[in-house]
Chain A
Amino acid sequence: MWLTSKIKQVLMVIKPGVVTLKYPFEPHPVPEDFRGRPHWDHHKCVGCGACSNHCSARCILVRDVCQELRVMLYDGSRCTYCGRCAEVCPEDAITMSQEFELATGNKQDITERLELFMLTCQRCGRCYDMENTNMIERLDLRGYRYDSLETRSLIRKTTEHFDENVLKETEKYQRPTKL
């Protein structure tokens, strides 16, 4: 009796075959709607900062180094790949790629940096003043959890000319950390 049951078991096991993936040696495709690492298209991006406002982990930082030049930084270390940035982007500049093999020993490997030229006002020749006067919107724009100016997640102060001091000061704005 025990032999027949064993044979039965073997037959049952043979039927499905080997299910184990040969993953690290053979690629395993992701599902179609998979959201991997987001990618920016710097030809399409207008630098509106909507992605930065909507990022739930606040990992997209906007840094204005001078008039007409804006640096957008994406810090992938705390990105939750929710895809909200791609959803709100008015120019469809952000696409969620299918990259998921992001294991690394250095956090800087999963960052992205974008340098953009900003358009200026036709009247005054300066960039649009993004500082809102409405207090509620101001809460939304700046990283309201930060008490000090230095660690705000979003800095939208511009100078009229390229200022090295501002560049030096904003150097530490890149990765807000806990106080």
Chain B
Amino acid sequence: MLSNLAKKFFGRSLWVYHCNSGSCNGCDIEILNVLTPYYDVERFGIKLVASPRHADVMLISGGVTRPTLHLARKAYEAMPEPKLVFGIGSCATGGGSWFDTYNISGGAEKSVPVNYFIPGCPPRPEAIIYGVALALGLVDKKAAPVELKQMEFPIDMYERNKAWEERNVIYELLKD
């Protein structure tokens, strides 16, 4: 649904504003890498702009630190509607290794509403392109929650009873 909306509203070129909110520059280098001829996102009309007032999309990297918290929000509010926000890197997604430290607000979600998360430390340039393509509806989503269960108990009950009979091993709970 979100990608359909994005297709409708962002039918033409996406202009991207890159907001560094206390990132270690790893994600920033990957974002720069995306703009190089090798990965060339200008195929999709994506262009880096210097001001949030010109931008459709905000790429926020870094777990938002305390000094940049209100600045990131200000930059978000300066962007004209409609707007998309991409959280790039593990820090912007969930706060990274510093999710509970005193100076990090624990992810970009705490300051601005984030539409798409791109985890990775740093994410590959392909992963960033994939995220943008996902927002534009060019590719399908691949991530899904995984649930695994052990269906059988590792010790066979038969073996347990046999051991009790043969070796007289106590398996019952001790009453305190």
Interface of A toward B, CB cutoff 8 Å = 19-21, 23-25, 28, 30, 39-40, 42-43, 56-59, 68, 75-82, 99-105, 107-117, 119-120, 122-126, 145-146, 160, 176-178
Interface of B toward A, CB cutoff 8 Å = 2, 37-40, 43, 90-91, 93-97, 99-100, 105-107, 115-121, 123-124, 126-127, 129-131, 133-134, 138-139, 141-150, 153-155, 169-174
Pairwise interchain contact A119-B139, C-beta atoms closer than 8 A: no
Q: Is the interface of B mostly helix, strand, loop or mixed?
A: loop
How far apart are B96's CB and chain A's nearest CB, in angstroms? Answer: 5
Pairwise interchain contact B90-A57, C-beta atoms closer than 8 A: yes
Least CB separation from A123: chain B residue:
B170
Pairwise interchain contact A78-B97, C-beta atoms closer than 8 A: yes
Q: Is the interface of A mostly helix, strand, loop or mixed?
A: loop
Pairwise interchain contact B142-A99, C-beta atoms closer than 8 A: yes
Residues on B with beta carbons closer than 8 Å to the beta carbon of A56: 97
How far apart are B10's CB and chain A's nearest CB, in angstroms? Answer: 15
Residues on B with beta carbons closer than 8 Å to the beta carbon of A21: 38-40, 126
Pairwise interchain contact A102-B39, C-beta atoms closer than 8 A: no
Q: Which of A76, A104, A115, A119 has the most CB of B within 10 A?
A: A104
Pairwise interchain contact A77-B174, C-beta atoms closer than 8 A: no
Pairwise interchain contact A113-B93, C-beta atoms closer than 8 A: no
Pairwise interchain contact B96-A107, C-beta atoms closer than 8 A: no
Residues on A with beta carbons closer than 8 Å to the beta carbon of B106: 177-178
Given contacts A20-B38, A58-B97, A110-B117, 12 further A-B contacts (CB under 8 A): A59-B94, A78-B96, A104-B134, A104-B143, A105-B2, A107-B93, A110-B145, A113-B148, A122-B171, A123-B170, A145-B100, A176-B100
